[in-house]
Structure 1
Amino acid sequence: MKLIVAVHFEDAQATRARAAAVAFDAWDAAEATRTYLSRIAHVEPAVRGMLDLRELPCVMQLLREHKLEPELILIDGFVHLDADETPGLGQHIFHALGGSVPIVGVSKKRLPGLTAQFEVMREEETQPLLVTCAGIDIGAAKARLRAMHGRKRVPTLMKLVARLAKNKD
């Protein structure tokens, strides 16, 4: 089972959050095999001037709470912040899981240290997605992202997990 995870902060102070996960088996799956949701009652505040890692304990709680042992995790964000592999959220998740679960970070935002080698085009006339990863080859990660279901820039299941994390019901 592969997972896509997303975290949404519930309030303006970002002291509470919801972590969601979508499980899938095939890269071209149009629907999730299962979804998961965890409510995080307290999130530590971000530290100004430091990498924002508030999502890390949320993701770890989700995995523990639902006893999830995925073969791979996709996140909306960065594994590395540049081509020199400066650690981002995904690298911290990778290490928290003992380096045993590959992490693929997918972002719509561009960072100055990421060159064209990290870009994936899913639709011709749109901006590329940026892919960074740990525990899996960048070429394999990009090919799998291209294969994901959805005719738009962002794959269907990535949109679903974002909606689940934001949904208040």
Structure 2
Amino acid sequence: MIYAFDTYYYDDYANTICIAFKDWNSEQETEIFTEKTPITSDYESGAFYKRELPCILSLLNKINLESNDIIIVDGYVTLNDEGKIGLGGYLYEALEQKYPIVGIAKNGFASPDAQRREIFRGESKTPLFLTAKGADVDEIKPKVEQMDGDFRIPTLLKKLDQLTRL
């Protein structure tokens, strides 16, 4: 199973959603998990994970992961060649490196990262940015390219983003 997570922040709470789907080319989710949590940390530039990681970990408590499951985050797993990690890297560590974490980010990051791949979907000239830990980015890249949907953002990831804002 693949579990994709995203969080949207309101004034006094965070809305975290997880969409579960069977495989990379699924057209529909198999299940949706949702949780509203108090915001435990202000936004801190360069430390986004401090705000979002507790939300993801809390929602993960409602999900029974199996050894072959994959987790997708809206953001980066690795940030540069010197080993700096993003939200997904911190999640990978928090889960004791038991599950592959795939980061699919919409915005570029300036530091060079040999593990980052650009993905162009549909007719978009703007890439998505792929990073991962516990999985080979070069094996994941064609899977993300072939996810359902004709546009830059795959259908299920767009739905995930929309659900966080409801």
**TM-score, L = length of structure 1:** 0.88
Which of 57, 61, 80 is equivalent to 2:58?
A: 61
Q: Which residue of 1 aligns with 2:119?
A: 120
Counterpart contact for 2:20–2:29, Cα < 8 Å: yes
Q: Which residue of 1 aligns with 2:85?
A: 87
Superposed displacement of residue 147, structure 1:
1.7
Q: Is 1:51–2:47 an aligned residue pair?
A: yes
Measured against aligned partners, the alpha-carbon deviations of 1:105-160 in whole angstroms (never above 9, x if no partner) come to 01111111246961111123421111011000010121211121010000001011
Q: Which residue of 1 aligns with 2:94?
A: 96
Q: Which residue of 2 aligns with 1:5?
A: 5
Q: Per the alignment, do residues 132 and 42 of structure 1 end up closer, same or farther by CA in structure 2, a change over 3 Å counting?
A: same
Q: Which residue of 1 aligns with 2:21?
A: 24
Q: Distance in 1 between matches of 2:102 and 2:83?
A: 13
Q: Per the alignment, do residues 18 and 125 of structure 1 end up closer, same or farther by CA in structure 2, a change over 3 Å counting?
A: closer
What secondary structure does 1:105 align onto? Answer: strand
Superposed displacement of residue 46, structure 1:
3.2
Moved over 3 A (4+): 114-117
After TM superposition, the structure 1 stretch with the greater mean CA deviation from structure 2, 66-75 or 87-96, is 66-75
After TM superposition, the structure 1 stretch with the greater mean CA deviation from structure 2, 147-156 or 68-77, is 68-77
**TM-score, L = length of structure 2:** 0.90
Counterpart contact for 2:5–2:19, Cα < 8 Å: yes
How many residues align structurally? 162
Q: Per the alignment, do residues 59 and 27 of structure 1 end up closer, same or farther by CA in structure 2, a change over 3 Å counting?
A: same
Counterpart contact for 1:23–1:34, Cα < 8 Å: yes
Superposed displacement of residue 163, structure 1:
1.2
Q: Is 1:160–2:159 an aligned residue pair?
A: yes
Please tell me the root mean square deviation across aligned C-alpha atoms, in Å: 1.7
What secondary structure does 2:64 align onto? Answer: coil
Amino acid at match of 2:26: A
Superposed displacement of residue 50, structure 1:
4.6
